[in-house]
Amino acid sequence: MIYCEFLKLKRSKICIIALVGTLGTPLLTIMHGIQNHFVYPEKAISLFGLYDNGIMFLMLLFGPLVFSIIAAYLFSREYAEKTLKTLFVVPITKRRFLASKFMTLFLCLLFLMILSWAEIFILAAICNIVFEISELNFLTALYFLFKIIYGSILLYATITPFAFLAIYSKGLVAPIIVASIIALGNVILTNSPIAGYFPWTATYLLLNGRIQSSGSTPGIVFTIVGLVCFISILSSILYFQKEDIK
């Protein structure tokens, strides 16, 4: 079933949107680093700084927007194309159907995050021909690979509410509107006292080691994010189980 979900994604334009949205982040990160180098020539461009900025953009801005679109598309496609009734002619349970979609969403998110990590390293190596990039080594890249994977799990937990919104609204509009509001909220709340309690901002602060300075603790963040993920998945299952397939 997961394989079938990937086949459906392959035939849609959502893959192009996801790739452009995700791969655009490393490019903007490199451009931002070069721009800062021109403004402050005494400050060298470092791979550590590039990855740090890239993770910030992915966790706070581009990630919620791009991955919410993927989630909304995955969970609303059958409603939009009116193929849900036909699909359940195959002997599968509703829980198994939803489980395949949640797994597909996680694999897509993980793949695109790792792809962004690889692109930053490749672009940094290319830029090193013209601009000296400090800390350009495999150990730095490996450190941020583990950080990207960890961030992917945290980000996935905060993306699950958009799956429920897609099932509930049976479309893309509501999840995208909410994701845009949350992305704007992330920008506004990053340095605020409540940032450590807002799930989408708190995950970035936890990943960046700044959660305690926000007045929160890792335990509180794990509890909040875990509840968000659990309630979203449970609500999706309960709502979908009770819904009549038409």
In the chain, how many domains are there?
Answer: 1
Residues 6 or more apart whose Cβ sits within 8 Å of residue 125: 133, 136
Q: How far is CA 160 from the centre of its chain?
A: 10
Measuring CA to CA, which residue among 79, 60, 74, 77 is closest to residue 106?
Answer: 74
Question: Is residue 213 in some structural domain?
Answer: no
Is residue 53 within 8 Å of 176, Cβ to Cβ? no
Whole-model pTM? 0.90
Q: Is residue 193 assigned to a domain?
A: no
Q: Is residue 103 part of a domain?
A: yes
Range of the domain at 118: 2-187
Please, are residues 220 and 197 in contact by the beta-carbon 8 Å criterion? yes
Residue 101 lies in a domain: yes
Each residue's pLDDT tens digit, 167-215: 998 888 889 899 999 988 888 888 888 888 999 999 999 998 888 888 8
In a domain, 227, yes or no: no
Evaluate whether residue 237 is within a structural domain: no
- The answer to whether residue 113 is domain-embedded is yes
Question: What residue type is 125 in one-letter code?
Answer: A
- pLDDT of 94-119, one tens digit each? 888 899 999 999 999 999 999 999 98
pLDDT digits (tens, 9 = 90+) for 114-147: 999 998 898 888 888 877 888 888 898 899 999 9
Is residue 163 one of the residues assigned to a domain?
Answer: yes
